Amino acid sequence: MKRAATTLLLAGLLMAASHSAAAQLPTVGPLAVTTAIAGSQPVSVIGNSTYSGVVAFGGQMRIVCSLNANMPTGTTLQVRLTAPSGGTSLGDVIVDVTARNLVIAVTPPFLNNVTIRYTFTPTVAAGVLPLTTRTAAYTLLTYP
Amino acid sequence: MIQRHARHMALAVALSLAIAPAAKGQFTASQSISFSISAINQIAFVGSPTLTVTTAAPGAAPSSVTNATATWAVTTNQSNAKITARIPTIMPVGVTLSSSLVAPTGATSAGFKALTTVSTDLVTGITKVAQGAMAVTYRLDATAAAGVVTAQARIVTYTITGGT
């Protein structure tokens, strides 16, 4: 009985740890802007990633995203999260250091198969930019 | 009795942890995105104008003709880029072909410049701009010494030289 209780306690601690998971996704890029049509702004570049996981929760959540630093002047980064079911994607959202809603009314199936699309868009005002990195942080929050 | 109560408490805690839903902020993920921008210098010219000298005022050289139907466009993400132009073979004796480009915002046009086989600056100081539909004006000048010149063509080569 004592051993069974200890085993259950350890299992519970392991479950609690999984509810505080911090997933580290592989790096996307480089998203290299190299050309433009004469008379128009430089051509945007798109990069894609995916996420698949099992997160148990009741009710609905929302997914927000923020960057570790704002994008360089004259550039924007948009993020779009989509999945076959389980939430409402807000489409391409321009992200910065402020947490922005990307998906609302999220239920557990959404996180089973997520497609993450990044769109890097510069203007000529950005000039020439050496390889630069930003880290996007995604958080699951209650909704509404 | 106390030991049994402690075991029951442990069991209750374990069960509550096992079925607890993900609370606010407990699930996070992060991803690094790398990006870069290369030097970009692009120009485009549209149009194939025709210029014909047909008349003169008595006592004066033949009248020049101009054509402003062509246009050009530029995109550069650098500073102080410039546009030069040249033609592959010289014009007939006594005949001059000149080109003038409207400058994009912030840049400077050199106005009409005679075109030769040597590149000449037409627009300078082009900085971080994307602009199109700017007029290209060609002018044909002829002296009486040129005589009658049968129809000819010249291909003007425009070049953008990037800045910094």
What ipTM was assigned to the predicted interfaces of this complex? 0.86
Contacts of B15 in chain A (CB under 8 A): 8, 12
Q: What is the pLDDT averaged over residues B76-80?
A: 98
Contacts of A122 in chain B (CB under 8 A): 37, 77
Distance CA A120, CA A77 (A): 5
Q: How much is the pTM?
A: 0.83
Contacts of A132 in chain B (CB under 8 A): 34-36
Nearest to B36 among A19, A27, A131 (CB): A131
- Contact yes or no for A75 and B32 at CB 8 A: no
Distance CA A129, CA B24 (A): 37
Nearest to A42 among B8, B28, B37 (CB): B37
- Contact yes or no for B31 and A116 at CB 8 A: yes
Q: Confirm whether B35 is domain-assigned.
A: no
Q: Which two tokens stand for residue B109?
A: 């046009």
Residues 85 to 144 of A: which have CB under 8 A from any B CB?
A: 116, 118, 120, 122-142
Nearest Cα of chain B lies from the Cα of A87 at a distance, in angstroms, of: 16
Q: Which two tokens stand for residue A58?
A: 């009741």
pLDDT for res B27: 85
Q: Which of A74, A70, A71 is nearest to A124 (CA)?
A: A74
Share of residues in chain A with pLDDT > 70 (%): 85
pLDDT tens-digit readout, A103-141: 999 999 999 999 999 999 999 999 999 999 999 999 999
B63 close to B53: Cβ distance less than 8 angstroms: yes
B119 close to B84: Cβ distance less than 8 angstroms: yes
Give the largest Cα separation in chain A, rounded: 78
Distance CA B7, CA B19 (A): 19
Q: Which of B91, B90, B50 is nearest to B70 (CA)?
A: B50
Is the pLDDT reported for residue A8 higher than 70?
no
Distance CA A141, CA B23 (A): 8
A114 close to A83: Cβ distance less than 8 angstroms: yes
B110 close to B124: Cβ distance less than 8 angstroms: yes
Is the pLDDT reported for residue B18 higher than 50?
no
Min mean pLDDT across A14-18, B55-59, B82-86 is at A14-18
Structural domains of chain B, count: 1
pLDDT tens-digit readout, B52-68: 999 999 999 999 999 99
pLDDT tens-digit readout, A80-90: 999 999 999 99
Nearest Cα of chain A lies from the Cα of B104 at a distance, in angstroms, of: 10
Q: What is the pLDDT averaged over residues A28-47?
A: 98
Q: Which of A112, A47, A64 is nearest to A86 (CA)?
A: A112
Provide CATH code, domain A25-142: 2.60.40
- Range of the structural domain that residue B75 is part of: 41-161
Taking the domains of chain A in order of start, what are their residue ranges?
Answer: 25-142
pLDDT for res A21: 63
Q: Burial letters for A117-135: b for 16+ Cβ neighbours within 10 Å, e otherwise?
A: bbbbbbbbebbbbeebebe
Q: Confirm whether B93 is domain-assigned.
A: yes
Nearest Cα of chain A lies from the Cα of B2 at a distance, in angstroms, of: 13
Contacts of B71 in chain A (CB under 8 A): none
Cα angle value B97/B141/B68 (rounded, 5°): 65
CATH number of the domain at B112, please.
Answer: 2.60.40
Distances (CA, A) of B114 to B63, B72, B73, B131: 16, 18, 21, 25
pLDDT for res B2: 42
Distances (CA, A) of A58 to A16, A72, A108, B20: 15, 39, 8, 9
pLDDT tens-digit readout, B127-164: 999 999 999 999 999 999 999 999 999 999 999 999 99
pLDDT for res B5: 45
CA terminus-to-terminus distance, chain B: 83
Q: What is the mean pLDDT of chain A?
A: 88
Q: What is the DSSP string of B47-114?
A: ---------B-TTSPBPPEEEEEEEEEEEESSSSEEEEEE-SSPPPTTEEEEEEEPPPTT-EE---EE
pLDDT for res B11: 44
> Long-range contacts: A7-10, Cβ < 8 Å, 24+?
A8/B10, A8/B11, A8/B14, A8/B15, A8/B18, A9/B10, A9/B11, A9/B13, A9/B14, A10/B14
